[in-house]
Chain A
């Protein structure tokens, strides 16, 4: 009887029992004997010279063990900069010390740290630290930072421009000159805060006997963190252990090496005591990376029939004050993905990375691709409007057709596979597009404003081929068949909500014929797991899962040799059938992986020359990125009296290739849409002209609550890829990438009768109300 296959079914998550009962261990739950607590003292100024740091009063406070300034760390030899990963030849990389030494460059930059017996005392004592500053001129906006004579964030560089990346292909000038219509639009992609509900946190422990430091950190990348800490601390890499315990959400924000991680490790070594730091939400808004923050001046050229012939964009990316791990790289993805799912042969694009006196931007869910999708999807709608065409028709006319794959874009990427029209037709049908259009027309006559927005996206993920990545792009998996037949899986990725303890076990259970409860999936501990790159860039299954598939194949090949020897058969005649080893043509012969594993352990009945043991470590080096795609349709009504947006319907048809667990895939899409919609309607990080953060708490930064989001209708198409052996494409970021333009396009479609062509996000009621009021032609009563 064939075993029930788990892959492709909604297996309940094996992570959940510990999570729903409150028995999971997040970093703030880690308690070690003798543990002391760190508090950071942060700059209230966006740009200033540090004149003097006086720690005397704080040190004298009862319960305080020690306090250090940036200069103290330097004097003690902690002079390394925090890392930035890139392969850009001309990138300007100013020093970035864990604690500011002589100058602060954004509000919230850490200037000193103190350690106390108790976290309450640590915070009391932090108030006693006196720092004298000399204010320097401030620049917050990219366009001002580019102006001649602008204040310099890093005077030593002589410029605020960190890099410029131009990309021209085809004949953009010719295309624009011969086009029937040209649409110009400036698009602001506002700054966002990732806001995982668990903030950052660290526990660092020094084992003086072994000379080893262990860092528990709420991180997405334990191995990369270990490597970087060993460099920063000057310890052999083998003497650094990084552990990602349960991690309460990341969305890219914990794909980094942060000052506080380095300082906590250094303090533990210095004091010989375990050191804990738990970030407050206020600190998190100031000093955890932000996302997005680009201004794009765009032009798109089209023929009268809607064919797009050329695209131009000058993009200014606000990098913040320093490079964090991937700060400069993220905006380059916007340029590469700007053509979206369309055939656009002629492009003239450029992104310029600019320093300002703000927190660094870096990877936030989608990371450069939401900006690209927003750019091209807004422009497609503007072209449709200019031509008086249906936005769906304009898209249909320009899609790369299914037979064209693999398709190399003008920006040099090779899309693996796709059927863009298929997801769009399916989504339009689910949303009853003609019906909604008819209702829109009827309601407009009554003075009610319905809008329908489309977004057809393609994203680059499964990060990625090492040659195209700022650092290693492969990942790893180990499978160990233990003597009793239970199976240990060690994965190099570091899940924090994505559910690979379940999906990876599903895969192993099917392929090796092991009960899912006999499989343990281990991750996030550099002492237990072979080197892996981590969880980000929708790579967990597409790269880590692919490595697991390779390891399964190696295990199967060895188990077959063991069984063949036992049966006196030729290994070439054996195969895995429904998770068991069988002999072709002889259904009576069967051996389980567990039995082969036991023989491999006993070691006395193995073919000559075959090593005992049944385990394998494999790495998957992706030959290409993968390119999931989809269509999102949003239907909104905008209240002309108040400007309030109600989302009436949200339909998403995504294609992420093969699916291991549809329940988990849908969950990823739900969460992604929520974050994309939040950018369209609610969220915005705001600094004032003095570089003060005005959105520094959850009272001011509008993370949506349940009542602010609608129900999402999901469906899928399945277009597998040959880039990896599972045929999967990755889904973690798709929802976010697809959602933002769908919502914005819907709102602007609703406002079409008012002649409103564009409003920058977030589309808050007052902005919409004003736009409708000023261009109402007397239609709106106030």
Chain B
């Protein structure tokens, strides 16, 4: 049995008795009750379990909890709440980027990581950038739209804007619900 020290959603945890084979996803869900991280497969194929490890998206079913020792983990519960949504959450809501919601938490974290690497992706870059996450409900159409909307909103929220580019209000970009 191992000992683990890590930060999860900004809170430090020190835990004893962690079984070496315990997967990070089970650790988060069972030991820390962070059940927003989902499990959709047993072959590292679906991305439902995606979390951020030191800011980068990882599949938490693909690593042991002990491998997160000394690292910082962010789960969906750590990026926003209903009262204060992350722009990516806001965009998924506004663009109807989810139906059953099961893939959504992992999808949102992957999308956040995608924008960290590429703040202004086009449709093809979004589609390839999310290749590790499966959604069975949406056909990805509105997920792509949500990621573009979030990219625009996050760029607009940056203090420094590219010369000549008009300011955009996140509301203006996100309030549109339909897609006609």
Contact = CB atoms under 8 A, between A and B. Distances in A.
Contact of B99 (A120, A278, A499): A499
A17 interface: yes
A253 B11 CA distance: 40
A24 interface: yes
Contact of A667 (B108, B123, B138): B138
For chain A, the bracket of interface size reads 35 or more
B38 interface: yes
Q: Which of B33, B81, B135, B141: most chain A CB closer than 10 A? A: B141
A497 B137 contact: yes
A236 interface: no
A671 interface: yes
Given A21-B80, A196-B136, A706-B127, A496 B100 contact: yes
Contacts of A247: 100
Contact of A20 (B43, B89, B123, B177): B89
Contact of A120 (B19, B82, B124): B19
Interface string A2-43: 000000011111011111111111101101000000000000
Contact of B131 (A17, A248, A705): A705
Contacts of B142: 667, 670
B19 A249 contact: no
A19 B104 CA distance: 7
A663 B143 contact: no
A198 B42 contact: no
Interface string B99-142: 11111110010000000000000011011101101111111111
A753 interface: no
B34 interface: yes
A252 to B, nearest CB: 12
Contacts of A705: 127, 130-131, 133-134
Interface string B11-44: 0000000010110000001000111111111110
B178 A663 contact: yes
Interface string A479-510: 00000000000000000111100000000000
Interface residues of B, number: 62
A2 B38 CA distance: 45
B138 A670 contact: yes
Contacts of A24: 36, 101
B102 A280 contact: no
A198 B134 CA distance: 11
B132 to A, nearest CB: 8
Interface in A658-700: 662-664, 666-668, 670-675, 697-699
B53 to A, nearest CB: 17
Query: What is the predominant secondary structure among interface residues of chain B facing chain A?
Result: loop
A197 B45 contact: no
A16 B34 contact: no
Contacts of B42: 280-282, 697
A54 B154 CA distance: 60
A386 interface: no
A671 B128 contact: no
A497 B102 CA distance: 9
Given A10-B178, A21-B85, A673-B139, A497 B134 contact: no
> Which of the listed residues B98, B127, B140 has the most CB atoms from chain A within 10 Å of its own CB?
B140
A17 B138 contact: no
Nearest to B109: A22
A11 B98 CA distance: 14
Contact of A19 (B29, B81, B98): B98
Contact of A703 (B22, B39, B89, B136): B136
A512 to B, nearest CB: 23
A663 B134 contact: no
A7 B51 CA distance: 37
Interface string B144-180: 1000000000000000000000000000000001111
A720 B33 CA distance: 48
B127 A281 contact: no
B77 interface: yes
Interface string B41-61: 111011010000000000000
A59 to B, nearest CB: 22
Given A13-B96, A21-B76, A711-B123, A663 B177 contact: yes
Contacts of B64: none
A663 B135 contact: no
Pick from A198, A278, A675, A703 the residue with the most CB of B within 10 Å. A198
A735 B136 CA distance: 13
A614 to B, nearest CB: 31
Contacts of B21: 120
A511 interface: no
B77 A497 contact: no
A17 B81 CA distance: 8
Contact of B34 (A22, A199, A663, A674): A22
Contacts of A21: 36, 76-77, 80-82, 85, 89
B102 A197 contact: yes
Contacts of A712: 139, 141
Interface centre among B41, B92, B127, by most chain A C-beta atoms within 10 angstroms, is B41
Given A666-B178, A670-B142, A706-B143, A20 B105 contact: yes
B105 A706 contact: no
Most-contacted residue by chain A among B35, B93, B139, B178 (CB, 10 A): B139
Given A12-B94, A248-B100, 18 more contacts: A12-B96, A20-B85, A22-B35, A22-B75, A24-B36, A24-B101, A29-B29, A29-B35, A196-B100, A248-B38, A278-B39, A281-B45, A667-B138, A670-B138, A671-B138, A705-B127, A705-B131, A712-B139
21 contacts: A17-B85, A18-B82, A19-B98, A20-B80, A21-B81, A22-B35, A22-B36, A24-B101, A120-B19, A120-B21, A196-B136, A197-B40, A197-B48, A198-B40, A248-B101, A664-B96, A667-B99, A667-B138, A706-B140, A707-B131, A709-B139
